[in-house]
Structure formats: structure tokens, C-alpha cells
Amino acid sequence: MNSSVIALLIILAIIGIGSFIGFRAGSRQAMNLEQWAVGGRGFGLVLVWLLMAGEAYTTFSFLGASGWAYSRGGPALYILAYISLAYVVSFFILPPLWEVGRARGLQTQSDFFEKRYDSKLLAGLVAVIGVVFIVPYLQLQLKGMGIIVEVASFGEINRTAAMAIAGALVAGFVFTSGIHAVARVSILKDLLLLGAAVVIGIAVPYHWFGGIGQMFKALASAHPAHLTMPGATRNMGHAWYLSTVLLTGLGAYMWPHLIGSCFTAKSADTLRRNAIVMPLYTLTLPFIFFAGFAAVLIVPGLRDGDLSLLTVVQKTFPPWFLGIVGGAGALTAMVPSAILILTAATLFAKNFYRPLIAPSMTDDHVARLARWTSVALMAVALFFTLTSGKTIVALLLIGYAGVSQFFPGIVLGLFWNRASRAGVFSGLVVGIVAVALLILSGRDPFVGLNAGFAALILNFAVTVVVSLASRSPARGINSPWMPAAERR
């Protein structure tokens, strides 16, 4: 049996097991909208941890982090910094958000904006923006999936076929089992990813250089500027690094699917404990960086940096291990893809279509529309993936620039009584327009700063000024709108 067949069979076996778990996950549940979208609000610490880790550690972590370590060098280290900041932010924001969600029956991020600011129009705008910026995040998962299966199968399965097959499987188990599928498949995905990352990060430097320290010495000698700022880039200096860390750290939990996962928790304390233990997962990322930095010396001149990790693994390990890495990598794309289409479909059906187009729809009709919308969204994302040439990290940063614009509306809505509907609406529109103008005109970075961060500053300023100038009912954390346990 040749190498490609061995690797391919292992990849297919892992994908098959993951898909079986996904299809079975919701078989014992009556799949109404509450169960499909937020799991009946009954997930404990372990399932919430796996769910959020499954959404946060994706093909971006697996291929994108190593790809940027390979192609950008020093700027890639922003990833380690922003993740640490994001957990601190989540410790203070998610518990009060969960309290509001339980008290008001919230299921999505848009529900928060509708209840807090008493505006279906604002909720509809948030839903549309959320769906639009989820698409590049979904694209990066599909692109990663295609790369993983193509390289790990030694080209036996091409990239387009891999993306189409995986997309169909993901749409299928999301349609069947909703959020239950995502949480259960995450268990298998996380076990494989953790094991593969540690083995790769330690074995590759030892195999080629005699150790991790020796690998960095060799890299510093051959490419002295690669590990410093701006690394292998021209315009990603310290200002870009700091502004990107702030943007992505503050915006990490503004993704609609992570807000939705917050509502699956049993209690606010579950989320506090989750913020404390989540950094344990981050320990795998340095091992992924080691592989990317080692690849600079082992396989120089790759046209696509996202290929660096798998190319090094292919040169270092036997085919059966490449198959395991390929299978683990495939699941790191499938799990977040599942939660992304689930969230986007729920936003569209529940927060855009029903309130603004068909107010008489029942919850059962909304659930049915959301399930079919998830299938349509996967097809749209697949089309854009096949026609886009952007790298994995570039796609992620576009998404962050957009969803981070929700930060003022959520944080000020929780903790500042004066935050008003007009202020948040104005700030959000200004922030999104600024993001679009800067990125589409090629001005990212903008005067050295991440374009999304520059837009977020403008968004904050407009929100505060308009809120102070407008009259709105006091609905912050000290108002009757908040649950009594969270008032200060």
C-alpha cells in the first residue's frame, strides 16, 4: 500500500467518525430553535470549554499561524498576545451578558441589541453585518480544509473536491443536530489537534536541528530580521502589532457564534471558570509556531505560506502520521464551519427575516428556515472560497475588522446607562463604512495602525458623542433592564 493511500484512508476514517458523531449528537433531542441554536442552555464547563475552544482554535491556528510564522515572521506573534487579552475581556463581559440572556430569553447577538436598545432595525443591521463578516471566516475554514486534504493525500484528492465534500458533510450534521453536533465533534477534534501540535512542534526542530533552541539559532543566523518587527513584511511594525492585538483582543468575543455559545452555558460562573481554563489550550500554539519557523529553513521559497506546516510534516513523518494530522486538520475546519453557518443562519432567520419581512412566523417556521439557510450559506461560502486568493490570516483579519465594531454597542450597553439607540446605530454605521473604505482602498495598515482598529476608535467616539447628545431610557447595568444579581 503506497503512502498516499495510507494517509488518505486515515483522513477519511477520521472525517467519517467525526461526521457520525455529528449526525448522532442531536438524535435524542426534540430539535426546536432553543435546542438547535443554544443547546437548551444546559452545557456545563467541559462542553462550553470544548465548544469555545472548537470555535477559537481552527484552521487559522493550524495552518494560518504556522503560515504567518513562515511568511511574516515577527508580526505573527500578535496571535499569542491577543488571545491572552481576549480571555481577560471574556471574564468581565460574558457573565453579565449570560445573565441578560437567561432573563430575557436571548439566543443570538442581535437579540441583545434588539432588547437593550429596543430596536428591531438595529438588530436587523447587526444580523446582516454579522452574516457578511462570518463569510470570510467560513472561507478560511474551507480553504484550510482544501489545503489539508490535498497535501495530506499527496494530491489524490484535489482542493475543490475536498472543500465540496466537507462542506456537504458539515451542512448535513448542522441541519440534523445543530449546536449539539458542534460540541460533540469538538471532543474528537481537540484530542487530535492537541496531540498532533505537540508532536510536530517538538519533533520537527529536533529532527532537523537537534532541538528548539538550535532551530532558533539557525534561523537567527540565516535570517536575522525574521524574528523581529516588521519581520519579513514592510509595513507591519510596532504600531500595527499593538493596534492589531487590541482590535482582535477586544473583538475576539464579538463574533456572533461566540456570543451564541455563551448562551449555552449553565451559569455565569461556568463562563468565569471557562475564561480561567481556556488559556491552557493556548499552550499548543507555540508548537505550531515552531513548525512554521522551522519551515523557513527546511522548505524555503514556498509560494503559499499556509502550506508550510503540512509540507514540513510530509518531509519529516511517515504517511500514517500525516494522515492523522490531515484528519485532525480537517476537523479543525469542519467544527468551526458548523458553528459559523449555524449562527449566520439563525441571525438571518430570527433577527432579519422574521422581524423585518415576515412578523407572523412561528418559532417552528424560523427553525425550519434557519436550517435550510445553513445549507444555502455553505454553498455561498464555497463559491467565494473558490474565487478568492487571500491567505488564511488575511481573511481572518478582515472578519475581525468588521465584528469588532459590535464592541461599543455591547460593552457600553452593559455598563453605561447613557448608551443610546441613536448613538450605537450611528457608531456602528460609521465603523463599518470606515472598515470598508480603508480595506477596499488598500489602506490597511492606515498610518501604521490596523484599519479595523482605526475604525473602532471612530466608532467609539461617535457612539459616545451621539449618546450624550440624545435622550434614551437608562438601560445600563444599574437599570431594571439588568437582572438583579448583576446590578451594581
pLDDT one-digit tens code per residue, 74-106 = 899 998 899 889 999 999 999 999 999 888 888
Distance CA 386, CA 363 (A): 35
For the cut 80, the answer to whether the pLDDT of residue 156 exceeds it is no
Confidence of residue 261 (pLDDT cuts 50, 70, 90): confident
Half-sphere exposure of 213 (CA within 13 A, CB side): 0
Q: Residue 272 has what pLDDT?
A: 92
Q: Taking the alpha carbons of 271, 272, 274, 279 in that order, is the dihedral positive or negative? A: positive
Distance CA 190, CA 313 (A): 19
Confidence of residue 6 (pLDDT cuts 50, 70, 90): confident
Distance CA 61, CA 65 (A): 5
Q: Could you give the 3-state DSSP secondary structure of residue 235?
A: coil
For the cut 70, the answer to whether the pLDDT of residue 32 exceeds it is no
DSSP state of 60: I
* pLDDT tens, position by position, 290-304: 999 999 999 999 988
Could you give the percent of the chain with pLDDT greater than 90? Answer: 33
* pLDDT tens, position by position, 220-244: 999 999 998 888 888 888 999 999 9
Q: Which helix (H) or strand (E) holds 151?
A: helix 120-152
Confidence of residue 37 (pLDDT cuts 50, 70, 90): low
Q: Residue 56 has what pLDDT?
A: 65
Q: Residue 476 has what pLDDT?
A: 55
For the cut 80, the answer to whether the pLDDT of residue 13 exceeds it is yes
- Alpha helices (H) along 39-119: 45-56, 59, 65-71, 78-104, 109-117
Task: Calculate mean pLDDT across residues 353-360.
Answer: 89
Amino acid identity of residue 287, one-letter, is F
Pair 187, 50: CB distance under 8 Å: yes
Distance CA 305, CA 56 (A): 21
For the cut 60, the answer to whether the pLDDT of residue 488 exceeds it is no
Confidence of residue 53 (pLDDT cuts 50, 70, 90): low
First to last CA, the chain: 67
Task: Calculate mean pLDDT across residues 391-399.
Answer: 78
Q: Could you give the 3-state DSSP secondary structure of residue 43?
A: strand
Task: Calculate mean pLDDT across residues 162-183.
Answer: 77
Amino acid identity of residue 191, one-letter, is L
* Beta-bridge mates of residue 446: 449
* pLDDT tens, position by position, 182-213: 777 878 887 888 888 889 999 999 999 999 99
Angle, in degrees to the nearest 10, between helices 319-346 and 308-316: 150
Name which of 138, 199, 178, 157 is nearest 385 in CA terms: 138
Confidence of residue 461 (pLDDT cuts 50, 70, 90): very high
230 preceded by a cis bond (ω within 30 of 0): yes
Pair 463, 409: CB distance under 8 Å: yes
Sequence-ordered list of residues with C-beta below 8 angstroms from that of 435, at least 6 positions apart, any chain: 401, 402, 405, 451, 452, 455
Distance CA 217, CA 173 (A): 47
Distance CA 229, CA 379 (A): 39
Name which of 387, 328, 396 is nearest 65 in CA terms: 396
Mean pLDDT of the chain: 85
Distances in Å between the Cα of 332 and the Cα atoms of 73, 201, 227, 436 are 23, 17, 27, 29
Q: Determine the distance from the C-alpha atom of residue 403 to the mean position of all C-alpha atoms in its chain, rounded to a whole number.
A: 11
Which of 142-151, 218-227, 235-244, 421-430 has the weakest average pLDDT?
Answer: 142-151
For the cut 90, the answer to whether the pLDDT of residue 451 exceeds it is yes
Q: Residue 168 has what pLDDT?
A: 82
Q: Residue 434 has what pLDDT?
A: 95
Give 300 or 156, the one with higher predicted confidence. 300
For the cut 70, the answer to whether the pLDDT of residue 39 exceeds it is no
Pair 200, 291: CB distance under 8 Å: yes
Q: Residue 478 has what pLDDT?
A: 52
Q: Residue 3 has what pLDDT?
A: 77
Q: Residue 483 has what pLDDT?
A: 56
Q: Residue 435 has what pLDDT?
A: 93
Q: Residue 411 has what pLDDT?
A: 94
Count of C-beta atoms within a 10 Å radius of residue 153? 23
Burial of 292 (0-12, 13-18, 19+ CB in 10 A): buried
